[in-house]
Amino acid sequence: MKRNVKTLAIAAAAAVALVSTGCATKKYVKGEVSTVNERVDGVQGQVEEAQTTLRDHDGRITRNEAATAEASKTAREALDRAVAAGKLAEGKLLYETVLSDDKVKFGFDQANLSDDARAALDAFAAQLKTENKNVYVEIQGHTDNVGGESYNEKLGAQRAAAVKEYLAKQGIPLFRMETISYGEAAPVADNGSREGRAQNRRVVLVVLQ
């Protein structure tokens, strides 16, 4: 666009030169200069519009980078996995929802969903439907460190699978969901206390677009 502006400016200068050499009438040159000026204004308007679009785009990127920076480590890992697998068009982290054991009460050594867990998932599914976006959801199963590592990885997978199955019944397409188990590998609190273990026993729903 800058090249177009430069070209039009040269044309205007050439028109003015014609007047000085007597090769064209003043009326003709005045008309040509007016036309060139209009074209210059039009190109400048296009340049400003393009710059505004770029600023808006940069602003969206900055906001998404800030949201990603504030997200949990496992949410950022979910975004990386989804992008690598070609699951996303935009590669954007929207939000994450945590269903911790002190709120939804998974039974001890069980993957069954309590009434509180189902209510929380109902609200989550309703939100996704209301937003009506083509999103991708990674469902992460986490446990405390009680029991063996392989056992906890299996338990985390079972709880994540139970959540996926329930959400599918609420109308969330299966192809838009994936499960993964971290087992005891990604605690968010100290496993040395009852309260900490309750926070670590959780299912995290990471919503990506």
Give pLDDT, residue 104.
Answer: 80
Least confident of 7-16, 57-66, 76-85, 167-176: 57-66
Select the more confidently predicted residue: 209 or 9: 209
Identify whether the C-beta of residue 142 lies closer than 8 Å to the C-beta of residue 186: yes
Which residues are within 8 A (CB) of 8 and not within 5 positions of it... i.e. 6 or more apart? Answer: 36, 39, 40, 43
Residues 73, 94: Cα–Cα separation, whole Å:
14
Give pLDDT, residue 114.
Answer: 87
Give pLDDT, residue 206.
Answer: 97
Give pLDDT, residue 33.
Answer: 56
R_g of the chain, CA atoms, integer Å: 30
Give pLDDT, residue 63.
Answer: 40
Please determine, for residue 12, whether its predicted confidence score (pLDDT) is greater than 90: no
Confidence bin at 100 (pLDDT 50/70/90): confident
Give pLDDT, residue 64.
Answer: 45
Helix (H, G, I), strand (E, B) or coil at 164: helix
Helix (H, G, I), strand (E, B) or coil at 123: helix
The pLDDT of 156-170, averaged and rounded, is: 96
Q: Tell me the pLDDT tens digit for each residue of 119-153.
A: 999 999 999 999 988 899 999 999 999 999 999 99
Which residues are within 8 A (CB) of 36 and not within 5 positions of it... i.e. 6 or more apart? Answer: 8, 9, 11, 12, 15
Residues 47, 202: Cα–Cα separation, whole Å:
51
**Nearest alpha-carbon partner for 39 in 14, 8, 6, 2:** 8
- Looking at the whole model, is its pTM more than 0.85? no
Q: What's the token pair of residue 61?
A: 């990127």
How many helices and strands (H and E) does the chain possess? 7, 4
Residue 99: is it exposed, middle or buried by C-beta count within 10 angstroms (0-12/13-18/19+)?
A: buried
Identify whether the C-beta of residue 155 lies closer than 8 Å to the C-beta of residue 144: no
Q: Tell me the pLDDT tens digit for each residue of 20-64.
A: 554 456 565 556 556 656 665 665 665 455 455 445 434 433 444
Select the more confidently predicted residue: 6 or 120: 120
Q: What is the mean pLDDT of the chain?
A: 78
32 C-beta neighbours (distance < 10 Å), count: 18
Residues 158, 140: Cα–Cα separation, whole Å:
10
Backbone φ, ψ for residue 70 (5° rounding):
-85, -15
Percentage of the chain modeled with pLDDT above 70: 64
Residue 91: is it exposed, middle or buried by C-beta count within 10 angstroms (0-12/13-18/19+)?
A: middle
Percentage of the chain modeled with pLDDT above 90: 49
Least confident of 12-21, 59-68, 69-78, 193-202: 59-68
